[in-house]
Amino acid sequence: MSMRKPLVGFYGDDFTGSSENLAQFHRSGLRTRLYLKVPQLETLQKAAETLDVVGFAGTARALDPVAMRAEVEPAFNALKALGCNFLQFKICSTFDSAPAIGNFGLAAEQFTAGQAYDLAVLAATPDFGRYTAFGNHFARFGNDIFRLDRHPSMSNHPRTPMKEADLKDHLASLCSLDFANVHVPEIRNPDVLKARVSELFDAKVGVIFDGVVNEDLASVVAELWVRSRQNPVFALAAQGLAQLLGKYLAAEMPEGALQSVETEVAPASNLLVLSGSCAIQTGRQIDVASQAGWATIELDPSKLVDKRAIETSLEEVLPKVNEQLSSGRPTIVYTARGDAMARDSFEDIPADQIGNTYARLMVRAREATSVPRVVLAGGDSSSYTVRSSGAEALTIKVFDEVQHGHLCELIGGESGLDGLEILLKGGQIGKDDYFLRVLSGTKH
């Protein structure tokens, strides 16, 4: 009797993006699980009996090439062992990556070189204001849409600034693979799309797909899925792929195979926000919460240089956090308030140390106050926070259709976090009142 294979396997290069990707599959009713570290193959094989999508949450976005290779390889080896014919390396929808940090071009090179995978690139996620047109990538900021190399935030990102909006040119700076573009007019002609995909994949060329509306992505993922039945596909893609592929796969599932999906977040009795984000939008969200009477506590990341310094910072911050939470006051701990772009030394601030500190703070605050819900803001630091928390995996509890977010629940571990509700928020994600809505819920 053959083992049941998951339909899709993916690795996410940070935890916020990984949980977002999982949620996009979940929203269509697929059965999903996100592992915080790679378990034994036997565990995955058992999970495959009931799961449609298996994901691994990683930290590759913050790593140099050597560390990245060591981080990513076990995850994809496990997914290959499960027999997944459709693999995704989940990237940020802003496509930011640098040769020395979070280089997803090298990841694609590593896992397609000498192997049979067709390589697809799909960065567009229209519902998040991310668009690719004629090979150039754009992102919404406020009420405007900017080419990435002119985006107020992403063009000045402290770790991975986007100085090139042409995705083909940007990938050329990251790796030696060959890429070609498939543009919107071709995508919107089914016969032309099919012919171009076959032509380029057969020539062993990576394909960068445009995408301006969800219908564009729907056409692309349908073609990729059909192709994957003949030849395995490796997709370097943002959550737009998961959203539209999940919808496509759900439509193909037999009756009764899908699970029900909760779409309304209930109010929480209290909330702790741990922000390692330097994004302007997260700064706005902290300001709005502060104006609403929330407690805000600054954590200086430059002091988190070793274990002793981390403990000293915890001894200073934790009593303040516990005091506020115990009094019923929602609390935000932050390392930046939208102004970290100006720090020349930002690259020296250790994301892993911030994450490890926040993990210990979360565990001890939960133990002392029974806080039921936590928001982790910031892709790099939150990745390390969750990985260091002691939990084993997470599932999606609610898909929030109002803010296109999701409420997760931690599973397992001995840290006392089992059942804790968490939201992982990318720096640019959410309206100004995001934290207020996470606390009050989305029911009207």
- What is the CATH classification number for the domain harbouring 415? 3.40.980.20
Cα separation of 247 and 103, whole Å?
A: 29
pLDDT in tens, 167-221: 999 999 999 999 999 999 999 999 999 999 999 999 999 999 999 999 999 999 9
Q: What is the DSSP letter of 442?
A: S
CA 178: distance to chain centroid?
26
| Judgement on whether residues 31 and 151 belong to the same structural domain of the protein | yes
Q: What are phi and psi of 259, to 5 degrees?
A: -95, 160
Looking at the structure of the chain, the number of domains it has is 2
Residue 212 shares a structural domain with residue 348? no
Please give the pLDDT value at position 151. Answer: 83
400-444 tens-digit pLDDT: 876 656 899 998 777 889 999 998 887 778 889 999 999 999 864
Q: Is residue 65 part of a domain?
A: yes
pLDDT score recorded for residue 347: 52
Helix or strand holding residue 170 (H, E): helix 167-172
Residue 1 located in a structural domain: no
Measured CA to CA, the distance from residue 357 to residue 334 in angstroms comes to 12
User: Domain check: are 59 and 141 in the same one?
Assistant: yes
Q: Is residue 91 part of a domain?
A: yes
Cα–Cα dist 135/209, whole Å? 8
Cβ–Cβ contacts within 10 Å for residue 240, how many? Answer: 28
> What pLDDT score was predicted for residue 210?
98
Say if 436 falls within a structural domain. yes
Note whether residue 220 is domain-resident. yes
Residues 138 and 248 in one domain: yes
Same domain, residue pair 42 and 109? yes
Give dist(CA 186, CA 260) in Å, integer: 36
Tracing tokens 């910031």 back to the chain, one arrives at 378
For residue 112, what pLDDT is reported?
A: 83
Domain-ending residue, one of 252, 285, 318: 252
Are residues 298 and 424 located together in one domain of the fold? yes
Q: What share of the chain is helix, strand, coil (3-state, %, to 5)?
A: 40, 20, 40
3-state secondary structure of 230: coil
**Domain housing 426:** 272-440
Are 314 and 429 within one domain? yes
| Residue 83: CATH number of its domain | 3.40.50.10840
Based on the domain organization, do 231 and 286 belong to the same domain?
Answer: no
Q: What is the DSSP letter of 389?
A: S
- Which sign does the torsion angle of CA 391, 394, 399, 402 carry? positive
The reply to whether 206 falls in a domain is yes
Q: Are 321 and 333 in contact (CB under 8 A)?
A: yes
Instruction: State which of 196, 217, 252 marks the end of a domain.
Output: 252
Contacts of 356 (CB under 8 A, 6+ apart): 310, 384, 385, 388
Residue numbers in the chain where pLDDT is lower than 50 = 1-2, 341-346, 444
Q: Are residues 323 and 230 in the same domain?
A: no
Instruction: With respect to residue 51, please indicate whether it lies within any of the assigned structural domains.
Output: yes
Cα–Cα distance for residue pair 428/416, rounded to 1 Å: 30
Domain-embedded: residue 126? yes
Task: Quote the pTM value.
Answer: 0.82
**Of 252, 284, 314, at which residue does a domain stop?**
252
276 and 191 inside one domain: no
User: Are 208 and 325 contained in the same domain?
Assistant: no
Query: Do 217 and 282 belong to one domain?
Result: no
**Residue 22 contacts residue 43 (beta carbons within 8 Å):** no
